[in-house]
Amino acid sequence: MSDKNSKLFLLILLGMLTAFGPFVTDMYLPSLPSMGEYFGTTSSMVQLGLTTSMIGLAIGQVFFGPLSDRYGRRLPLLAAMWLFLASTLLCLYAQDIHQFVAFRLLQGIAGAGGIVISRSVATDKFSGRELAKMLAVIGAINGIAPVAAPIVGGVFTDLIGWQGIFWILFGLGVVLLAACFHFQESLPREHRLASRWSDTFRSFSVVLRDRQYVCYVLQMAFAQGVLFANIASSPFIVQQHYGFSAFAFSLCFGVNALMIGVGAALSVKFHRQESSTLAGCCGMVVIAVSQCLALMLGCSFWVYEGLMLFLLFFMGLTFTSTTALAMDCQRENAGTASALLGAICFAAGGVVSPLVGLGNILSSTGIIFVVCAFCSLFCMLIALGRRRTRVYFAFSTFFQNSLRFHTNRT
């Protein structure tokens, strides 16, 4: 066995770990009605398993991040995978809905280990534009996975039921565990935090005192707010308001997920990471306002879907660059910084998701889009600080060159 992993292996492993958490959370969503019948309980109790898994994803990142800074990346990663396999089996053989909900919390905590450590490993191994390119793939997967997971689950639910979905998750866990055994430690002993437990978790206060890092994290959280508002509202808007079938809704979900990935992939074309995030934030504001007005005026489905594609594309532009910028701010505390980034973003999604159901879902969804987009741009402008003018110049140069290229072609 070589003393280091290839870039291709790291790319595949980190991508799978990034997608793992959202798949743990969302893949079983289409089977919620059948689970209510199986456990003989209400739909709200079954949905509580989704809530506890998201709580687990937030808590787990705060827990595994400092652990990986203290003990290295490999050992906590293996522990997370073993915990996931155990919790998945417990979910499969739960005797009632209360046990299932509790075991889903453990499953979420375990899934969080993969998410937080994947960003830390990327920060350990790469820097600058190379880090941005690696995070572009991770960011694309992170944006696509929460949207794609219900589609994948919907394909298999009618064939194998909710237990079959969890057996698929168990199989994925086995594959990832085997890959983690092959993974070579990315954080040398001399770079680990050799301190007491109290000092380990005190690193959170160190990271949170970095104003620029906090602004980048908040920008990312508000961008995630746009994503989770769309995930929570689109089933009702597309199927109930516009009258499309569940299959047609799945197709729309897939196209939307693709646009997030396209935005994340194209973000590396910018010469400066700040320019990519700023472009995405400005685009989100313009499209969010347009979408809000369109929904309130009773627009057609095609107007709604077209604007949503652009909104998710601009959101995807921010995912990769913002993650790279935030992690670069705290390279010496990469595990803790990654933990806070993930925990705050999942918490934002948990707060935003139920808000779309307040009042008229069309109006509330549009308003949430606008609020999250403006807050995202505001946080980015604060993060830029004195570098704002320099980034504006790079930002304008990029679009001038793009316009000149388009003019020459025509």
Going by pLDDT thresholds of 50, 70 and 90, the confidence category of residue 66 is: confident
Contacts of 135 by beta carbon, 8 Å cutoff, 6+ apart: 119, 122, 320, 323, 324, 327
Asked if residue 193 belongs to a domain, the reply is no
Based on the domain organization, do 364 and 241 belong to the same domain?
A: yes
Based on the domain organization, do 32 and 178 belong to the same domain?
A: yes
90, pLDDT greater than 90: yes
In 3-state terms, the chain is what percent helix, strand and coil (to 5)? Answer: 90, 0, 10
CA distances from 201 to 72, 221, 331 (A): 15, 22, 16
Based on the domain organization, do 75 and 219 belong to the same domain?
A: no
pLDDT for res 325: 85
72, pLDDT greater than 70: yes
C-beta of residue 383 within 8 angstroms of C-beta of residue 215? yes
Based on the domain organization, do 276 and 180 belong to the same domain?
A: no
User: Within 10 A of 244 (CB to CB), how many other CB atoms are there?
Assistant: 16
Which has more confidence, 77 or 188?
77
pLDDT for res 386: 53
Q: Mean of the pLDDT values across residues 252-265?
A: 81
pLDDT for res 260: 84
Mean pLDDT, the chain, rounded, equals 79
Number of domains in the chain: 2
| 3-state SS assignment for residue 186 | coil
Based on the domain organization, do 400 and 281 belong to the same domain?
A: yes
Based on the domain organization, do 155 and 224 belong to the same domain?
A: no
Based on the domain organization, do 24 and 120 belong to the same domain?
A: yes
Q: CA 327 to CA 256: how far, in whole Å?
A: 27
Asked if residue 34 belongs to a domain, the reply is yes
Which one, of 315, 317, 290, 284, lies nearest residue 304 by Cα?
A: 290
Domain extent at residue 279: 209-405
1, pLDDT greater than 50: no
Contacts of 27 by beta carbon, 8 Å cutoff, 6+ apart: 149, 150, 152, 153, 165, 168, 169
pLDDT for res 410: 47
The distance from CA 61 to its chain's CA centroid, rounded to whole angstroms, is: 12
Q: CA 11 to CA 32: how far, in whole Å?
A: 33
pLDDT for res 57: 80
* Segment 17-43, tens digit of pLDDT: 877 777 887 777 667 667 777 888 775
406, pLDDT greater than 90: no
User: Of the ranges 68-82, 186-200, 216-230, 249-263, which one carries the lowest mean pLDDT score?
Assistant: 186-200
Which has more confidence, 299 or 133?
299
pLDDT for res 3: 55
Asked if residue 343 belongs to a domain, the reply is yes
Based on the domain organization, do 117 and 182 belong to the same domain?
A: yes
Which has more confidence, 391 or 121?
121
171, pLDDT greater than 80: yes
* Segment 145-155, tens digit of pLDDT: 766 777 777 67
CATH number at residue 95: 1.20.1250.20
Asked if residue 137 belongs to a domain, the reply is no
Q: Mean of the pLDDT values across residues 119-129?
A: 73
Going by pLDDT thresholds of 50, 70 and 90, the confidence category of residue 308 is: very high
Based on the domain organization, do 296 and 154 belong to the same domain?
A: no
Going by pLDDT thresholds of 50, 70 and 90, the confidence category of residue 241 is: confident
Instruction: Give all strands (DSSP E) within 73-181, no chain letters.
Output: none
Which one, of 295, 278, 265, 276, lies nearest residue 369 by Cα?
A: 295
Residue 195 DSSP one-character state: S
Based on the domain organization, do 223 and 116 belong to the same domain?
A: no
Q: CA 6 to CA 184: how far, in whole Å?
A: 10
* Segment 187-229, tens digit of pLDDT: 777 666 655 666 666 777 778 888 888 899 999 999 988 988 8
87, pLDDT greater than 90: yes
Q: CA 186 to CA 338: how far, in whole Å?
A: 15
pLDDT for res 194: 58
The distance from CA 406 to its chain's CA centroid, rounded to whole angstroms, is: 33
Based on the domain organization, do 172 and 308 belong to the same domain?
A: no
Based on the domain organization, do 254 and 319 belong to the same domain?
A: yes
User: Of the ranges 34-43, 163-172, 186-195, 345-354, which one carries the lowest mean pLDDT score?
Assistant: 186-195
Asked if residue 3 belongs to a domain, the reply is no
Asked if residue 203 belongs to a domain, the reply is no
Q: CA 77 to CA 111: how far, in whole Å?
A: 10
261, pLDDT greater than 90: no
Which residue's structure tokens are 């803790």? 336
Q: CA 50 to CA 101: how far, in whole Å?
A: 8
Region of residue 318 (left: phi > 0; alpha: psi -120 to 50; beta: else): alpha
Q: CA 250 to CA 147: how far, in whole Å?
A: 9
pLDDT for res 199: 63
The DSSP string of 254-304 is HHHHHHHHHHHHHGGGSSSHHHHHHHHHHHHHHHHHHHHHHHHTT--HHHH
Asked if residue 275 belongs to a domain, the reply is yes
pLDDT for res 29: 66
176, pLDDT greater than 80: yes
369, pLDDT greater than 90: yes
